[in-house]
């Protein structure tokens, strides 16, 4: 066993919520470098004092919490949420991966700080302190566990505002032996000496450690900024922002130190005629001295980013608008890559124009056209270089009503030329036409018809070495009927649909794959509510033909029928029972012409049956606590036909039994706690636990 | 009323002329010169992985595309790859990874490879999220012989979240993970990240 791997610590069972929260805050902050530890202790001390000070008011607000929903309705809602949350656990990995991307942009931080300043102004110069926000959540999903924590607060006094936030994340996976820890700390200080001028300071640190691979990724950056706003008149307004700072990075393959600077202009000019010009321009320059640890190569890396965007809007008439836009951006980035310096150069131009007219009573016609040219060049990895030139247009007609029928229609087309460093050069032409017709037949019944048709064509200049020339054609039509209105006791719907997709490979090497898919489906659903008992059911049947153009022996027909039913019954004022059942049967087989026959015949060869039964009971305690308990049975079996008789496949069976427990507790109006625990027992595989716990708290 | 009637007639005429003038007519395929790459309609979820293998090895991006949902597809790399490539390439190459990104990268891999071999080995029992959703757990080994730069084997673990839409199964989430037995070997997710 690898001794480097350790499971993450479970949440400690401290007796009092306040102490537990303090413990989490300290743990998070202590994960940062020693330099931030004094700040962590100070924050924790402040937290403790504030928490004690507000304990009484919290108790009062908790008791006074008004709730317009009845206990039974809340229980119903909670039951539904509990069921839909089943799949959410699978997303826990994403939280771990995205931790490093959660930092606010300097612009957003500045906006937050200025808001804080504005609030302080409202207090007539008094000291203002925002709520201290703390949240933590822990998730166990089969083999992975994630623990996230965040703490933040802001205050302002005498024109100075300070906002700070810290977050920590521990991610572990027993299967891959992963053990990763992230910690970030941010602080922004802003001072506004006048109404138009503001200056600020930003400090950001990020730490990431991969304990299994023994890698560290550290980044520190410090920056100062100044922003000045002009508002000479209502005609012209502008804001210019300048920033400068330093960055220090330590990565497994290199170290880097350098400077950053940026200049941004945002201006708007309103002409005396109905016309507006808006110009945004920004430029950024960064410079770093990098040291590649493997090759000792030292490089001076530049990071240049320039962009300009101009929009001219013109409203010659109240119902008519014209807009012209132009944007240009250029980014050049250098970095050490495998013993050499890579230069990534990206240039993009976009010209777009749009025209819209409201003809009468909601009837409107709009059209827009775009031209874009994007090029990306890599100096070292030349095969990654590419250019993409696109010309596209869209026209849309909406709000056309005639004798109670409303019609909308849209047409899109794009012609693009793609050139790549790997030699895959060619054109892609696409066009799509879609439309929808709706009509209300009676006050309770409405009907609609939706149709669309599209074609995408791929051309390659070197058709001999690139045999991928193809056309993808799609058309579809669906007819639907809806019964009932929102909030009514009953509702229902029925839909029939036909979709055709043709995949045509043009060149001989791949043309054997050319095929047509025809899909026909019919579905119906209804919902019925008697007092507090609700019942819903949905049924659908689908037939899918896959027909190969050249090799009929590959043709396949598949048929699927599914039906699902749900009933929710309240029991007393606080309890709810929910029973859901789903059944799905599918069969498939060749769809070919038998020897001596003259038409294609379906021959069933196999299929599957899946069944699910899910019973959930929810109970509401007072107005702030509810819990649910559920049990689910699932079975899936596959079969095949041998000599005309159905045979169940050995090993093609999955049988699961799930029990889950959920608790939601509202401590007060600004604090909530959620706990979920589930156990899945598998008859033919590994059984496992899933769990999730989260607490969020606002102090003050 | 007259304007609306005129617009309706114009729209109807435009629709018929668009559909009838050949604007949406696909080309005719040439007679097949090879055996083609097998494609099995994914009426059963396991068929998806056979199709992915065939599409990769046959380098047919259109078949590869049909293994994924049209909208809402997401790919999550191993967190180690995410952080590694962010520091190496100075860009978050995995940000906003949707089906377009998946196909772009797959095509780039196909272009740069002279041959590909892919094997999946089931590593855990399937989880039934619901009657229409499942999670499959596989180990994979992807051997790539590049046109330039020799051969490389990519190993790792993959969790495929699949969903049934209209009787056919599609992948809507792909989680790539390192194989702890090959901690120094690059994953498929790492290869994809470097090709974006």
Instruction: Measure in Å the smallest separation between the Cα of B69 and chain A Cα atoms.
Output: 15
H or E element, residue A85: none
B36-194 under CATH 1.10.10.60, yes or no: no
At residue A111 the predicted structure's pLDDT band, cuts being 50, 70 and 90, is low
Closest Cβ opposite residue B61 in set A175, A409, A468: A468
CB spacing of A213 vs B38 below 8 angstroms: no
| Whether residue A71 has pLDDT greater than 80 | no
Instruction: Measure in Å the smallest separation between the Cα of B72 and chain A Cα atoms.
Output: 14
| Whether residue A406 has pLDDT greater than 70 | yes
The whole-number pLDDT of residue A654 equals 66
Can you state the angle between helices A17-30 and A37-53, rounded to 10 degrees? 170
Closest Cβ opposite residue B5 in set A251, A402, A509: A402
Instruction: Measure in Å the smallest separation between the Cα of A270 and chain B Cα atoms.
Output: 34
CB spacing of A251 vs B87 below 8 angstroms: yes
The whole-number pLDDT of residue A528 equals 93
CB spacing of A507 vs B30 below 8 angstroms: yes
User: Hey, where are the domains in chain B?
Assistant: 36-194
Asked if residue A29 lies in contact with residue A38, where contact means CB atoms within 8 angstroms, the answer is no
Q: Chain A: residue nearest B176 by CA? A: A93
Instruction: Measure in Å the smallest separation between the Cα of B155 and chain A Cα atoms.
Output: 12
The reply to whether B3 touches chain A by the CB within 8 Å rule is: yes
What pTM value is reported for the model?
A: 0.76
* Sign of the C-alpha dihedral computed for residues A419, A425, A427 and A428 taken in this order: negative
The reply to whether B22 touches chain A by the CB within 8 Å rule is: no
Closest Cβ opposite residue B29 in set A252, A303, A506: A506
User: Of residues A654 and A204, which shows the higher confidence score?
Assistant: A204
Across A607-634, average pLDDT: 82
The whole-number pLDDT of residue B4 equals 65
Give A-chain residues touching B8 at CB under 8 angstroms: 400, 402, 407
Rounded to an integer, what distance in angstroms lies between the CA atom of residue A604 and that of residue A591? 9
Degrees to nearest 5, angle at CA B84 with B80 and B90: 145
Closest Cβ opposite residue A546 in set B41, B108, B124: B41
The reply to whether B90 touches chain A by the CB within 8 Å rule is: yes
CB spacing of B5 vs A93 below 8 angstroms: no
User: Of residues A476 and A463, which shows the higher confidence score?
Assistant: A476
Closest Cβ opposite residue B90 in set A335, A544, A638: A335
pLDDT digits (tens, 9 = 90+) for A242-263: 989 999 988 888 888 888 888 8
Asked if residue A353 lies in contact with residue A369, where contact means CB atoms within 8 angstroms, the answer is yes
Residues of chain B falling short of pLDDT 70: 1-5, 7-8, 11, 15-20, 34-36
Q: Chain B: residue nearest A208 by CA? A: B83
The reply to whether B114 touches chain A by the CB within 8 Å rule is: no
CB spacing of B34 vs A512 below 8 angstroms: yes
The whole-number pLDDT of residue A338 equals 76
CB spacing of B175 vs A101 below 8 angstroms: no
| Whether residue A35 has pLDDT greater than 70 | no
At residue A141 the predicted structure's pLDDT band, cuts being 50, 70 and 90, is confident
| Whether residue A102 has pLDDT greater than 90 | no
Give B-chain residues touching A96 at CB under 8 angstroms: 79
CB spacing of B183 vs A506 below 8 angstroms: no
Q: Which long-range contacts (CB under 8 A, 24 or more apart) does B135-142 make?
A: B135/A90, B135/B159, B135/B160, B135/B161, B135/B162, B136/B45, B136/B46, B136/B49, B136/B160, B136/B162, B138/B49, B139/B179, B140/B188, B142/B56, B142/B116, B142/B117, B142/B118, B142/B188, B142/B191
Q: How crowded is residue B112: how many other Cβ atoms within 10 Å of its Cβ?
A: 17
H or E element, residue A74: helix A71-84
Q: What is the separation of C-alpha A490 from the centre of its chain, rounded to a whole number of angstroms?
A: 33
The pair of structure tokens assigned to A359 is: 């003809």
Q: What is the DSSP string of B85-140?
A: HHHHHSS-TTTT--HHHHHHHHHHHHHHEEEEEEEEEE-SPPEEEETTEEEEEEEE
Instruction: Measure in Å the smallest separation between the Cα of A159 and chain B Cα atoms.
Output: 37
Give B-chain residues touching A519 at CB under 8 angstroms: 166-167
Q: What is the DSSP letter of B35?
A: -
CB spacing of A654 vs B125 below 8 angstroms: yes
> Of A145, A148, A505, A608, which to mutate for an interface test with B (greatest number of B Cβ within 10 Å)?
A505
> Of A219, A383, A414, A424, which to mutate for an interface test with B (greatest number of B Cβ within 10 Å)?
A383
At residue A125 the predicted structure's pLDDT band, cuts being 50, 70 and 90, is low
The whole-number pLDDT of residue B155 equals 96
| Whether residue A488 has pLDDT greater than 50 | yes
Rounded to an integer, what distance in angstroms lies between the CA atom of residue A375 and that of residue A347? 5
The whole-number pLDDT of residue A118 equals 52
Asked if residue A559 lies in contact with residue A541, where contact means CB atoms within 8 angstroms, the answer is yes
Q: Chain B: residue nearest A468 by CA? A: B60
The whole-number pLDDT of residue B161 equals 96
Degrees to nearest 5, angle at CA B45 with B42 and B50: 65
Give B-chain residues touching A559 at CB under 8 angstroms: 167
Q: Chain B: residue nearest A510 by CA? A: B36
The reply to whether B20 touches chain A by the CB within 8 Å rule is: no
The whole-number pLDDT of residue A396 equals 93
Q: What is the separation of C-alpha A412 from the centre of its chain, rounded to a whole number of angstroms?
A: 26
> Of A85, A219, A510, which to mutate for an interface test with B (greatest number of B Cβ within 10 Å)?
A510
Instruction: Give the 3-state secondary structure of A488-557.
Output: CCEEEEEEEEEEEEEEEECCCCCHHHCEEEEEEEEEEEEEEEECCEEEEEEEEEEEEEEEECCCHHHCEE
At residue A580 the predicted structure's pLDDT band, cuts being 50, 70 and 90, is very high
Mean model confidence pLDDT for chain A: 80
The reply to whether B13 touches chain A by the CB within 8 Å rule is: no
Give B-chain residues touching A511 at CB under 8 angstroms: 29-33, 36
| Stretch among A65-69, A202-206, B2-6, B8-12 having the lowest mean pLDDT | A65-69
Asked if residue A172 lies in contact with residue A140, where contact means CB atoms within 8 angstroms, the answer is no
Give A-chain residues touching B44 at CB under 8 angstroms: 586, 588, 608, 638
Half-sphere CA count of A389, side-chain side, radius 13 A = 5
pLDDT digits (tens, 9 = 90+) for A523-567: 999 999 988 899 999 999 999 999 999 989 889 999 999 999 999
CB spacing of A101 vs B89 below 8 angstroms: no
The whole-number pLDDT of residue B32 equals 87
CB spacing of A686 vs B124 below 8 angstroms: yes
Q: Is A324 helix (H, G, I), strand (E, B) or coil?
A: strand
- Say if strands B151-165 and A688-699 run parallel, antiparallel, or are unpaired: unpaired
Query: What does the buried/exposed string (b/e) look like for A444-469 if buried means 16 or more CB atoms within 10 Å of the residue's CB?
Result: eebebebbbbbbbbbbbeeeeebbbb
> Of A172, A175, A256, which to mutate for an interface test with B (greatest number of B Cβ within 10 Å)?
A175
Across A228-249, average pLDDT: 86
The whole-number pLDDT of residue A288 equals 85
| Stretch among A481-485, A606-610, A619-623 having the lowest mean pLDDT | A619-623
Closest CA to B19 of A406, A434, A501, A400: A434
The reply to whether B27 touches chain A by the CB within 8 Å rule is: yes
CB spacing of A512 vs B125 below 8 angstroms: no
The whole-number pLDDT of residue A504 equals 94
Give A-chain residues touching B87 at CB under 8 angstroms: 217, 249, 251-254
Instruction: Measure in Å the smallest separation between the Cα of A642 and chain B Cα atoms.
Output: 19
Instruction: Measure in Å the smallest separation between the Cα of A86 and chain B Cα atoms.
Output: 7
Q: Chain A: residue nearest B39 by CA? A: A513
The reply to whether B133 touches chain A by the CB within 8 Å rule is: yes
Across A385-395, average pLDDT: 94
Closest Cβ opposite residue B36 in set A2, A510, A521: A510
Rounded to an integer, what distance in angstroms lies between the CA atom of residue A427 and that of residue B107? 15
Instruction: Measure in Å the smallest separation between the Cα of B175 and chain A Cα atoms.
Output: 8
The whole-number pLDDT of residue A534 equals 94
| Whether residue A10 has pLDDT greater than 60 | no
Contacts of A414 (CB under 8 A, 6+ apart): A390, A391, A392, A393, A428, A429, A430, A431
The whole-number pLDDT of residue A40 equals 37
| φ, ψ of residue A117 in degrees (nearest 5) | -65, -45
Q: Chain A: residue nearest B109 by CA? A: A422
Q: Chain B: residue nearest A557 by CA? A: B41
At residue A34 the predicted structure's pLDDT band, cuts being 50, 70 and 90, is very low
Across A457-464, average pLDDT: 88
- List the 134-163 stretch of B: residues with Cβ below 8 A of A: 135, 148, 157, 161
């Amino acid at each position: 066993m690898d001794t480097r791997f350790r499971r993450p610590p479970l949440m400690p069972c401290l007796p009092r919520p306040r102490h537990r929260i303090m413990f989490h805050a300290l743990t998070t902050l202590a994960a940062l470098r020693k330099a931030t530890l004094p700040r962590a202790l100070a924050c924790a001390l402040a937290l403790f004092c504030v928490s004690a000070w507000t304990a009484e008011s919290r108790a009062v607000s908790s008791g006074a919490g008004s709730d317009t929903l009845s206990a039974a309705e809340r229980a119903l809602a909670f039951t539904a949420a509990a069921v839909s949350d089943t799949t959410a656990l699978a997303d826990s990995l994403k939280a771990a991966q995205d931790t490093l991307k959660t930092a606010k942009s300097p612009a957003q931080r500045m906006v937050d700080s200025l808001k804080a300043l504005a609030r302080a102004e409202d207090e007539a110069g008094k000291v203002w302190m925002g709520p201290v926000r703390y949240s933590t959540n822990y998730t166990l999903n089969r083999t992975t566990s994630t623990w996230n924590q965040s703490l933040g607060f802001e205050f302002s006094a005498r024109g100075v505002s300070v906002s700070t936030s810290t977050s920590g994340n521990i991610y572990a996976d027993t299967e891959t032996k992963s053990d990763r820890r992230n910690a970030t700390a941010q602080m922004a200080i802003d001072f506004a000496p006048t109404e138009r001028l503001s200056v600020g300071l930003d400090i950001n640190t990020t730490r990431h450690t991969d304990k299994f691979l023994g890698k560290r990724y550290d980044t520190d950056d410090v920056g100062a900024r100044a922003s000045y706003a002009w508002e000479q008149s209502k005609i012209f307004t502008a804001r210019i922002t300048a920033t400068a700072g330093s960055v220090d990075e330590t990565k497994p393959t290199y170290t880097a130190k350098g400077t950053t600077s940026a200049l941004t202009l945002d201006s708007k000019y309103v002409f005396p005629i109905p016309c507006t010009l808006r110009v945004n321009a920004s430029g950024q320059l960064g410079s770093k001295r990098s040291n590649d640890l493997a090759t000792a190569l030292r490089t001076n890396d530049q990071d240049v980013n320039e962009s300009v965007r101009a929009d001219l809007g013109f409203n010659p008439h109240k119902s008519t608008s014209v807009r012209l836009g132009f944007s240009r951006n250029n980014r050049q980035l250098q970095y050490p890559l495998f013993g050499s310096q890579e230069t990534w150069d990206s240039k993009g131009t976009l010209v777009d124009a749009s025209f819209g007219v409201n003809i009468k009573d909601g009837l409107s016609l709009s059209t827009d056209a775009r031209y874009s040219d994007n090029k990306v060049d890599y100096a070292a990895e030349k095969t990654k270089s590419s250019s993409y030139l696109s010309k596209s247009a869209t026209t849309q007609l909406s709000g056309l009503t005639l004798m109670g029928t409303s019609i909308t229609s849209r047409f899109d087309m794009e012609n693009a030329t793609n050139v790549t460093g790997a030699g895959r050069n060619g054109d892609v032409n696409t066009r799509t036409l879609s439309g929808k017709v709706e009509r209300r037949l009676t006050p309770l019944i409405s009907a609609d018809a939706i149709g669309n048709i599209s074609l995408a064509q791929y051309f390659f200049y070197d058709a001999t070495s690139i045999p991928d020339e193809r056309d993808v054609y799609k058309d579809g039509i669906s007819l639907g009927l809806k019964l009932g209105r929102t909030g009514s006791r009953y509702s229902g719907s029925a839909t029939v649909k036909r979709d055709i997709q043709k995949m045509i490979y043009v060149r001989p090497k791949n043309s054997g794959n050319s095929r047509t898919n025809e899909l026909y489906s019919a579905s119906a659903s209804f919902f019925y509510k008697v007092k507090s008992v609700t019942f819903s059911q949905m049924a659908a049947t689908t037939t899918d033909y896959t027909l190969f153009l050249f090799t009929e022996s590959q043709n396949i027909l598949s048929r699927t029928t599914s039906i699902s039913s749900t009933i929710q019954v309240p029991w007393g004022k606080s309890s709810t029972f929910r029973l859901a059942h789903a059944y799905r049967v599918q069969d498939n087989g060749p769809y070919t012409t038998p020897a001596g026959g003259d038409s294609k015949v379906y021959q069933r060869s196999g299929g599957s049956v899946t069944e699910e039964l899910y019973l959930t009971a929810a109970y509401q305690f007072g107005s702030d606590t509810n819990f649910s308990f559920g049990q689910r049975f699932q079975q899936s079996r596959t079969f095949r036909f041998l000599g005309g008789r159905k045979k169940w496949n050995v090993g093609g069976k999955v049988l699961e039994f799930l029990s889950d427990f959920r608790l939601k507790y509202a401590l007060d109006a600004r604090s909530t706690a959620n706990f979920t625990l589930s156990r899945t027992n598998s008859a033919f595989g590994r059984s496992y636990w899933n769990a999730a716990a989260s607490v969020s708290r606002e102090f003050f | 009323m007259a304007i609306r009637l005129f617009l309706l007639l114009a729209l109807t005429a435009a629709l018929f002329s668009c559909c009838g003038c050949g604007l949406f007519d696909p080309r005719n395929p040439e007679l097949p010169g090879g055996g083609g790459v097998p494609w099995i309609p994914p009426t059963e979820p396991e068929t998806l992985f056979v199709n992915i293998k065939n599409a990769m090895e046959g380098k047919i991006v259109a078949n590869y595309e049909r293994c994924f949902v049209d909208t809402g597809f997401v790919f999550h790399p191993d967190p180690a790859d995410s952080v590694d490539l962010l520091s190496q390439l100075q860009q978050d190459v995995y940000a906003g990874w949707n089906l377009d990104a998946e196909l772009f990268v797959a095509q780039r891999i196909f272009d740069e490879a002279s041959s590909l071999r892919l094997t999946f080995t089931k590593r855990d029992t399937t989880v039934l999220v619901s009657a229409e959703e499942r999670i499959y757990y596989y180990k994979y080994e992807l051997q790539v012989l590049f046109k330039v730069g020799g051969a490389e084997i990519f190993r790792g673990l993959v969790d495929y979240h699949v969903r049934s839409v209209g009787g056919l199964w599609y992948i809507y989430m792909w989680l790539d993970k390192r194989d702890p037995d090959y901690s120094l070997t690059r994953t498929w997710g790492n290869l994809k990240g470097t090709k974006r």
